[in-house]
A and B are shown apart, each in its own frame.
Chain A
Amino acid sequence: GSPACASCGLPAMEKDAEQKMMIEIAKQHLLEKLHLKERPNITQTVPKVALLTALRKLHSGRVRQDGTLELENSLPTKDQGYEIVSFADISDSDSGDKASLSLTFQFLQERGKSIQVLQSSLWIYAKLSEDPHRSSRLLARVFLSADEETSDSNRTLVIEKMIEVKESNWHTFPITHTLQTFLDGGQRRLRLEVSCEEGERNLCSFNGSLTKANQPFMVAQVRLRDNHSKHLIRKR
């Protein structure tokens, strides 16, 4: 172990005791820096393949041969920033006469902390159109659903855009403003509905037949907003 600490008065410790103490200090240090009260308990595991797909989309990491992740530093910013990937709770819902993909995201904001959304996008995997006579482009729409009901009257169109359906592929839908408005409202459940209607089919619906790698998710780049500085400004 180490000799007694001349400046801080810690007594000499056995090597094991010192190792244990250092590990506890490291744990507390990491949790404090990540603004976590305790280590998260992961009860449901996200399929690794979906995880790596999402992280690859984050453009913030290279996947090594052995499947582990090599991280790259983001651009240094004054405030600590976060990039978040959130996998939705998924269900297919009937809105009116067409089925649409219903995604629910859960958020937990610490009281007194507000979040600034720098950018956010929804990643949806659209399947290949099976009808060769159809146009290769399709109108995809994302709605914000006010609450559990999915009747048309409670939905607000967030974004619509034409997507290519000649092959199955990923498509992104920018929802920065939607997410910012949602977080500013202090709500906890964000419910989005995605419809890519081709006749009776929704090419964006996610069901068991697709591999877990194509699970829809949201990516957000956020920063903790410092309300205190706003007050300072007012004083000036």
Chain B
Amino acid sequence: SLRCGDEVTVCCKRDFYIKFKDIQWDEWIIAPEGYHMNYCMGQCPQHLAGSPGIASSFHATVFNQLKVNGINTATASCCIPTERRPLSMVYFNSQHSIVKTDVPDMIVESCGCT
């Protein structure tokens, strides 16, 4: 998976971090100190369809079949997350109770083309 630089062309992961203190959310979020809301961006030209790593998905299989048979598809391949991990959080809820939960699929680790 590629990490985006300043110039974005091909599908890559853009790191984006928010520190809760900067937005005064550290008053109710006890941990962690911030959130990595990374996201995927960039182009997926046809020769990159299904790379890296998600060829096993239904979409990639269909695209590849169409390509192999020389059928020109009008649809483009998309740049999407291929790996995500949960975010563990401890926070105050509106009753001033403290809640700890693991929110699934919150942090994008890598991106790829469908």
Give residues in B with beta carbon < 8 Å to A: 8, 16, 18, 23, 25, 27-28, 30-33, 35, 37, 41, 43, 76, 78, 86, 88-104, 106
Contact = CB atoms under 8 A, between A and B. Distances in A.
B interface majority secondary structure: strand
Interface stretch (A28-36, A144-152, A191-199): A28-36
Interface of A: 2-3, 5-7, 22-23, 25-27, 29-30, 33-34, 36, 39-44, 46, 51, 54-55, 58, 60-61, 68-74, 76, 80-87, 106-108
Contacts of A61: 31, 90, 100
A2 B98 contact: no
Contacts of B99: 34, 82-85
Given A2-B8, A51-B30, A85 B98 contact: yes
24 contacts: A7-B76, A30-B35, A33-B103, A36-B93, A36-B94, A40-B92, A41-B94, A42-B27, A44-B96, A46-B96, A55-B30, A58-B100, A60-B90, A61-B100, A71-B89, A71-B90, A76-B102, A80-B103, A82-B100, A83-B100, A84-B100, A85-B100, A108-B94, A108-B95
3 shortest interchain CB distances as A-B pairs = A71-B88, A86-B97, A69-B31
Given A40-B91, A68-B33, 5 more contacts: A22-B16, A46-B98, A55-B90, A60-B90, A83-B101
